[in-house]
Structure 1
């Protein structure tokens, strides 16, 4: 990729079956485009290694995708891909037209404050779980708080202003 500024559009969770199919957590609003047969995605491994994969097939499966990459045949080859991040150049991602929708990369790095303006921390990551999305917030003491990304708890997201306002219920931020 020509730009070091990349965005994660998926993460390989685990192999599925014996033919090389992979379970992928989708982190894009355009899975039909990003995971279309023939699409090429850059990859990043945990050890920093990078490469590319070409999508051979993709189909929905329990809120995720089952994806087959060209050249990955069999469970052993698929197992070697576990944890792989699938990324695209940030310049290839169009901004969202919906003011209530945010890409993970728009939230990561934003300052988190409570409704009184007290600094809580910084959004380190957006975690996508079966129940709901969570903001992983790095606290000033080096700890982490997980904040459900729902309107009742996160009433304001100001990407341009660089902050997220939270109204946590009692006990949510207690260590």
Structure 2
């Protein structure tokens, strides 16, 4: 069974009637209501989003059984998960981060480079983080040029390391 996927994080209380700020990690923010009850990573607690409305950069949500501000405040920071099989299928060349993390990273000659540690997006596009067997991690653009092959069934991604990186010279630290 696949590991559960984090789809949202509960934030601060909103108002006095138990509503919370909800930070969804789904492409469609309101999709968190489509998956049924959400759980903590360990499955020990379950939450049902009964109502949600968009706010500036989050949702304002009501959770079943949470009726007071004090109840809502106790939930701040809890991450909400759903079973992988409840998520919709992806399009071609579209992947869930969780499907990529842990894959072997190899070069075009199938020589090992490391493992996929994470996928990041700091606002300028996706970045794949590769953990080599030793040394610092590699942060590379997650583009077709750098990652021409994603083989989920084979458990690997093919990485074409850039020959040179444009930009300023790296300063020497003494």
Does the alignment reach a TM-score above 0.5?
yes
- State whether residues 51 and 63 of structure 2, in contact with CA within 8 Å, keep that contact through their aligned partners in structure 1: yes
**CA distance in 1: counterparts of 2:146 and 2:6, whole angstroms:** 26
Q: Partner of 1:153: helix, strand, or coil?
A: coil
Summarize deviations over 1:90-118 as a string: whole Å, max 9, x none. 3333432x211112222122111234544
User: Within 5 A, what are the aligned runs for 1:1-175?
Assistant: 5-12=2-9, 14-15=11-12, 17-19=14-16, 20-26=19-25, 28-29=26-27, 31-36=29-34, 39-44=36-41, 50-61=44-55, 64-70=58-64, 71=66, 73-74=68-69, 77-96=71-90, 98-141=91-134, 143-169=136-162, 170=164
Change (3 A) 1:142 1:23: farther
Alpha-carbon displacement from aligned partner over 1:118-159 (angstroms, at most 9, x marks no partner): 422111233344333332322212743333323333222111
Distance 1:13 1:143, change over 3 A: farther
Computing the radius of gyration from Cα coordinates, the structure with the larger value is 2
The CA RMSD over aligned residues, in Å, is 3.4
**Structure 1 residue 66, shift from structure 2 partner:** 4.1
Q: CA deviation at 1:43?
A: 1.5
CA distance in 2, matches of 1:72, 1:120: 51
Instruction: Report if aligned partners of 2:126, 2:142 keep a CA contact under 8 Å in 1.
Output: yes
In 2, the alpha carbon distance for the partners of 1:148 and 1:81 equals 35
Looking at structure 2, the residues matched to 72 and 128 of structure 1 have their Cα atoms a distance apart, in angstroms, of 35
> Any gaps of 5 or more consecutive residues in structure 2?
none
Q: What TM-score, normalized to structure 2?
A: 0.69
- Matched residues in 2 for 1:167 and 1:63: separation? 36
TM-score, normalised with respect to structure 1? 0.69
* Larger strand percent: 1
